[in-house]
Amino acid sequence: MLAETRKLEFEKILMQIRDYTITDLAKTDVLLLKPLVNQKMIKKLLEETYEAMIFIQRLNETPLTGVLNIKESLKKAEIGSILNIEEFLRIVSHQEAISRSQTYIKKIHQLDIESDALDGYYQNLISLPKLKEEIETVIDKTGKIYDNASIKLSKLRKKIKILEERIETKINSLLRQEANKLTDSLITIRNNRLVLPIKAEYKNSFKGVVHDLSSSGETVFMEPISCFVLNNELQNLLLEEKKEVDRILKELTKSVGENVLSLRSNLDILTYLDIVFAKAKHAIKFNSSKPSLTENEINLLNARHPLIPQAEVVGNNINFHDYHHIIITGPNTGGKTVTLKTLGLLSIMLQSGILIPVDEGSKTVVFSGIFADIGDEQSIEQSLSTFSSHISKITYIMKNVKSKSLVLLDEIGSGTDPKEGASLAISIINYLRKFNLYSMVTTHYPELKTYAFDLDDTINASVEFDIDTLKPTYKLKIGVPGTSNALEIAKRLGLNASVIEAAKKVSLSFDTDVSHLIKKLEKQSIELEETILKYKEEINLLKSKQEKLDKLYIEEKVRQNKLLSDLENEKRIELEKLESKAKKIINDLNELKQSATFKEHELARLKHEAKSINQIDDSYQKTVQTKISVGDKVLIIPYQRNGIVNKKLPHGKYEVLMGSLTVTLLESDLEYIDTPKKVVNPIKGTVLKTSEAKMELDLRGYRYLDAIDELDKFVDTCLINNLEFAYIIHGYGTGALKKAVDEFVKNNSQIKKMRPGGQNEGGKGVTVIYFK
């Protein structure tokens, strides 16, 4: 794809993102990002970055820590070159990073955060615990090789230790005996051998081998002759130790070589994820979002230039509406070029998979190329003037544009005679209009203002200028051409009033019609903004009223619940008293049965009291349980089946879920139950008449086998009611429920086909099934 990345300063954005990367490889690779034209690929990259942004915001952490560059180590292992200890420690650190990444995605799944775009990368990470363990049993965390790394190494190190102790004993003895000949009482090492610091005048009288001299020449470092043989033996052992260590490291290198493909794949994935999460951190920093990609609609809401400090940047709504070309007119230094650069840079960022600083709800298209002629670029080498430089660039653009290109031209036709420049500008725009492309052009030529009014695919725009402060506000106004404000600015800067009045008369003779038209448009624009503001105020007022009504509803609900709760508590206390009384009656009855003086009138009294308790208990149950609420378990009296209240409807009716069916019933048809009552099963072969058969089944929260059972019942109900299709909601999660649905559908002869849910149907969290 042809894109003016350098002129639009895209490399500065990549440098910003690089600051958020962790690994050396990602810091290099992120600078290679380029805009794409494949909409499917762009959408994939944006989804990945968006998901990573959600991960960071929800977990407040990133998974990539301790990822070290092992690229060169893998190359060495591949050709059999022995790795050093530091390289093995890097590989261990790399494997630990894999484990942290796998733990991270598990947390994401546990929180039920959507992760479709990034799941595949985590699933492709290969854990190599055996290799990690093999390295860690040989090398400790400080880089020291364990004595027990091999039997031979263990024996050699024991011999070395014994020999070192013998040599040290001899040296210490000589330190005491030859103290007058020493410049210091410390044992020193030279050429890997223990030596003594002998005064220069005693070098001939001291029996030993000279290994070094001090810089002053006053000290001679000598190896005592009595230690010479022992030191030779020690050197031989140290050489054997080195050979054994090399052998061990060679074996470890071989193990690394056997896993090179997996290690390289892991490195590539972690490097890629590092870039994705760096883009996500950049998006959070700039409050960026993911616009919708459309075929022909560009509407960037509150678009901000990411290279202008956030405290200073002014957001703009860049909306092409149904137009393909926007001509921004107005004075120089008015902010026109910033608008051009904002559109161009944000488009390049988006097509490189980078979220852009715009508000939610923004829309744009994927451009086939992004061309720009921005700024005064005189070419000294080619002896080109400003005008010639612009024309050379525009010539290149005209040769390379095609359908769906974006062309940005700053101060088109400038640098030459104004009349010829304006004519040339109009001709260039007319040429671009032959292609199905988009363009944004800036100019201060008044002729282009009237030119845009006569075209269906072109619209005027301007950047607002504050006359009071003599500074641009940088606010883009679509549909209103700009004015230079030169006379007003001159007046405020103190230019002679008579000169200004004379200039106004000259100006009036040239462009009275244009000025009148512009003023009319500005007036209409102000009126439109006032109307929009009025509607916004009315909407806010309605929202406020709705909030008050919601608050009143909640307060009334709370009051009713409190009354019901108080009544329940009152009846509960009464019931507890009755239970106590009932226990006493039972005890009295038992005593009467055992008593020899049994009296009929006492038994009658107790029976009467028990009957009155039952009546009160029934009254309590009816009082407490007549209030049926959403979510209650109920007995559906006409069908003698249990159900769950799904929704309260007007006129004393309720929507009740009865298995996979939905029925509408009066409150009198329902009986509240604490636990499901035993009901009569319907006769096999009969069909329940329902007001409406549910077209969807929500399996979220079900286990695999329970989900299969519910599916079976649901499909039977759908077939009984002659439904053509239905929705199965299984969510995202771990994918187990989706797998259960897929297997069930494949093995059911009554189902014709299935497909994933569309964008407005729940996406990949829903499967739509069609019946034969």
Q: pLDDT tens digits for 433-476?
A: 999 999 999 988 888 888 888 888 999 998 887 777 777 788 88
Task: Please give the pLDDT value at position 612.
Answer: 59
Supply the mean pLDDT for the chain. 83
CA 7, CA 10: separation in Å to the nearest integer? 8
Task: Please give the pLDDT value at position 606.
Answer: 56
Task: Please give the pLDDT value at position 75.
Answer: 94
CA 303, CA 346: separation in Å to the nearest integer? 8
Between 485 and 285, residue with greater pLDDT: 285
22-36, 616-630, 709-723, 725-739: range with highest mean pLDDT: 22-36
Place of tokens 């609609």: 297
φ/ψ of 17, rounded to 5, equals -65, -40
Q: How remote is the C-alpha of 29 from its chain's centroid?
A: 20
Question: What is the third-level CATH fold of 628-684?
Answer: SH3 type barrels. (2.30.30)
From 329, 600, 585, select the one nearest 452 (Cα to Cα): 329
Task: Please give the pLDDT value at position 174.
Answer: 81
Task: Please give the pLDDT value at position 95.
Answer: 93
- Contact between 444 and 332 under an 8 Å Cβ cutoff? The reply is yes
Q: How remote is the C-alpha of 302 from its chain's centroid?
A: 21
CA 9, CA 29: separation in Å to the nearest integer? 18
φ/ψ of 427, rounded to 5, equals -65, -40
Place of tokens 């086939």: 368
Task: Please give the pLDDT value at position 380.
Answer: 37
Q: Which residues pair with 648 in a beta bridge?
A: 654
From the candidate CATH numbers 3.40.50.980, 1.10.1420.10, 1.10.10.10, 1.10.10.60, the one assigned to the domain spanning 10-128+259-285: 1.10.1420.10
φ/ψ of 145, rounded to 5, equals -85, 130
- Contact between 408 and 343 under an 8 Å Cβ cutoff? The reply is yes
Q: Which residues contact 331 (CB under 8 A, 6 or more apart)?
A: 444, 465, 482, 484, 485, 486
pLDDT band at 572 (very low <50, low <70, confident <90, very high): confident
Q: Say yes or no to pLDDT of 738 above 80.
A: yes
Between 106 and 734, residue with greater pLDDT: 106
pLDDT band at 278 (very low <50, low <70, confident <90, very high): very high
Return the minimum-mean-pLDDT range out of 28-42, 225-239, 379-393, 575-589.
379-393
Percent of all residues in the chain with a pLDDT value above 70, rounded to a whole number: 85
Q: Can you tell me the mean pLDDT for 661-678?
A: 71
This prediction's pTM: 0.63
Pull the structure tokens for residue 517: 């038209």
Q: Say yes or no to pLDDT of 593 above 60.
A: no
Task: Please give the pLDDT value at position 295.
Answer: 92
Q: Where are the chain's structural domains?
A: 10-128+259-285, 151-233, 292-495, 628-684, 693-772
Task: Please give the pLDDT value at position 408.
Answer: 96
Return the minimum-mean-pLDDT range out of 125-139, 416-430, 571-585, 728-742.
571-585
CA 467, CA 157: separation in Å to the nearest integer? 87
Task: Please give the pLDDT value at position 134.
Answer: 95
- Contact between 235 and 156 under an 8 Å Cβ cutoff? The reply is no
CATH number for the segment(s) 693-772 = 3.30.1370.110
Q: Say yes or no to pLDDT of 643 above 80.
A: yes
CATH number for the segment(s) 292-495 = 3.40.50.300
Q: Say yes or no to pLDDT of 620 above 70.
A: no
From 361, 393, 365, select the one nearest 379 (Cα to Cα): 393
Q: Say yes or no to pLDDT of 319 above 90.
A: yes
- Contact between 236 and 193 under an 8 Å Cβ cutoff? The reply is no
Report how far apart, in Å, the C-alpha atoms of 217 and of each of 205, 207, 225, 622 are.
Answer: 17, 19, 22, 112
Domain 292-495 and domain 693-772, same fold? Reply is: no
CA 710, CA 226: separation in Å to the nearest integer? 91
Pull the structure tokens for residue 763: 């996406």
From 224, 173, 220, 226, select the one nearest 198 (Cα to Cα): 220
Task: Please report the DSSP string for 300-357 in residue order.
Answer: EEEE--TTS-TTT---EEEE-TT-SEEEEES-TTSSHHHHHHHHHHHHHHHHTT--BS
Largest interatomic CA distance in the chain: 136
CA 376, CA 411: separation in Å to the nearest integer? 9
Q: What angle do CA 617, 619, 623 make, to 5 degrees?
A: 115
From 499, 495, 490, 489, select the one nearest 468 (Cα to Cα): 489
Task: Please give the pLDDT value at position 448.
Answer: 86
From 62, 125, 136, select the one nearest 99 (Cα to Cα): 125
Q: Can you tell me the mean pLDDT for 737-749?
A: 85
Q: Which residue stretches of 111-209 are H helix?
A: 116-123, 129-136, 151-177
Q: Say yes or no to pLDDT of 688 above 70.
A: no
pLDDT tens digit sequence for 381-402:
444 567 788 888 999 999 999 9
Task: Please give the pLDDT value at position 360.
Answer: 92
- Contact between 462 and 481 under an 8 Å Cβ cutoff? The reply is yes
Task: Please give the pLDDT value at position 287.
Answer: 96
Task: Please give the pLDDT value at position 427.
Answer: 93
Between 46 and 698, residue with greater pLDDT: 46
Q: Say yes or no to pLDDT of 522 above 70.
A: no
DSSP class of residue 145 equals B
For the chain, the first-to-last Cα distance in angstroms comes to: 47
Pull the structure tokens for residue 227: 């230690």
If residue 680 lies in a helix (H) or strand (E), which one and from where to where?
Answer: none
Q: Which residues contact 746 (CB under 8 A, 6 or more apart)?
A: none
